[in-house]
Structure 1
Amino acid sequence: MDDFRNLQDYIASIRANPSAKEYYEEGYMVLRRCVVEAQALLLQPFQTQGGARDDEEQNKVHLRRIIQDAAVRRFRAQTLFLRATAALRWVKSRAVVLQGQECHAGHLPALQQVKNTLRAELASITDQRVELSLRAADSAVGKWLQEDPSLGQIQRLISNGNAQSHGP
């Protein structure tokens, strides 16, 4: 849960101030979408089911649901984080190309390359890559992973609507 919250805080702290001309540039649109999706994810309540909490089996089921919910939220937050950091690299690369100047024809080849790099980075953010990055980080610090849902389970939970679906 701390990892999820840290990712949320990072995404919520993103500030990019495009000019009116730049507002609809692809990288800025990706950043805005990430921030909006992250805010929605943070506000999404955990859906509890009623039942006697003193029943050991019911407690196990409830705990499993909490673990699944946390795993899905963390997975979605990590996806948004990777997308947002790719967009922030685009912002920085674009600024290097423009060097404070207005965009002109001489900038177009370099700006197209920056856009192509962003698109390639976004395309590389697959569910498998997200899962691998999370599991590798968890393993590196010795976290218990036995109860974590598999990638297939996370994908099913997302597609079944148990968590809001993640963006493209």
Structure 2
Amino acid sequence: MSDGLNDARAIRITEIVTDFRHLQYFLSQLRPTPTAEEYYLEGYSLLRQCTSEAHSILTTPFSVSAPAPGDDVERQKQQLRSVIVDAAVRRFQAQRVYLRAQAGLRWVNTRNSILRGQKQNASHLRALQEADDSLRQELRAITDECVESTLRNQDTAQGKWLAEDPTLAQIQQILMRR
């Protein structure tokens, strides 16, 4: 028994995958270039971690649900729902990585503006510590609730159909199983 929403589901998949593709494109462009002395600093380590996580999201196999018994339209409905959930989880992960990478890039820019091409010395210490503290504060603020809220507000503002998007609790359950 079809509910007539398969076209809306297909459009929603396209929207989510497009958002995911944009996030992945941004993340694929991360190319931090620290000096040997800077390599293990928190912000540069964070950017490397973000790059690794973005790659991991791409290599995670699609979680397929068993096809529903019944007619082709009902099977399509179940498949589309399954794709919406998988795509939404991947987009959520990519958004979380994106927000963390943005914080890391702000840290790099702040660090560069403090140092202005000079080697780090005692006169920079206080400002660099403040930049490190600011990065840690930003990272603490990037909670799952924050990520989910960012995505939902963006989708709502654009008038997208969200009726079958997974809830934050569902996304968290799926991520814990992976």
TM-score by length of 1: 0.91
Deviations 1:131-167 (A, max 9, x none): 1100111011111011101111111111122xxxxxx
1:80 maps to what in 2?
Answer: 97
1:152 maps to what in 2?
Answer: 169
Equivalent-residue separation in structure 1 for 2:66 and 2:129 (angstroms): 54
2:113 maps to what in 1?
Answer: 96
Equivalent-residue separation in structure 2 for 1:70 and 1:140 (angstroms): 20
Q: Is the 8 A contact 1:67 1:148 kept in 2?
A: yes
User: Unpaired runs of 5+ in structure 1?
Assistant: 162-168
Equivalent-residue separation in structure 2 for 1:25 and 1:53 (angstroms): 56
1:70 maps to what in 2?
Answer: 87
1:107 aligns with 2:124: yes
1:165 maps to what in 2?
Answer: none
| More off after superposition, 59-68 vs 40-49 | 40-49
Count of aligned pairs:
161
1:24 aligns with 2:40: yes
* Equivalent residue for 2:156, pick from 125, 139, 142: 139
CA positional deviation for 1:65: 1.2
Deviations 1:89-137 (A, max 9, x none): 0000000111110001111110000000000000000000001100111
Equivalent-residue separation in structure 2 for 1:77 and 1:121 (angstroms): 17
* Equivalent residue for 2:74, pick from 57, 77, 90: 57
Equivalent-residue separation in structure 2 for 1:120 and 1:40 (angstroms): 25
Q: Is the 8 A contact 1:53 1:59 kept in 2?
A: no
Equivalent-residue separation in structure 2 for 1:27 and 1:112 (angstroms): 12
| More off after superposition, 24-33 vs 47-56 | 47-56
Amino acid at match of 2:24: Q
CA positional deviation for 1:49: 4.6
CA positional deviation for 1:14: 1.2
**Percent identity between the two aligned chains:** 50
User: Unpaired runs of 5+ in structure 2?
Assistant: 1-16
Q: Is the 8 A contact 2:114 2:124 kept in 1?
A: yes
Equivalent residues in 2 for 1:36-51, closer than 5 Å: 36-49=52-65, 51=67
Q: Is the 8 A contact 2:65 2:82 kept in 1?
A: no
| Structure whose alpha-carbon radius of gyration is higher | 2
Equivalent-residue separation in structure 2 for 1:67 and 1:49 (angstroms): 12
CA positional deviation for 1:12: 0.6
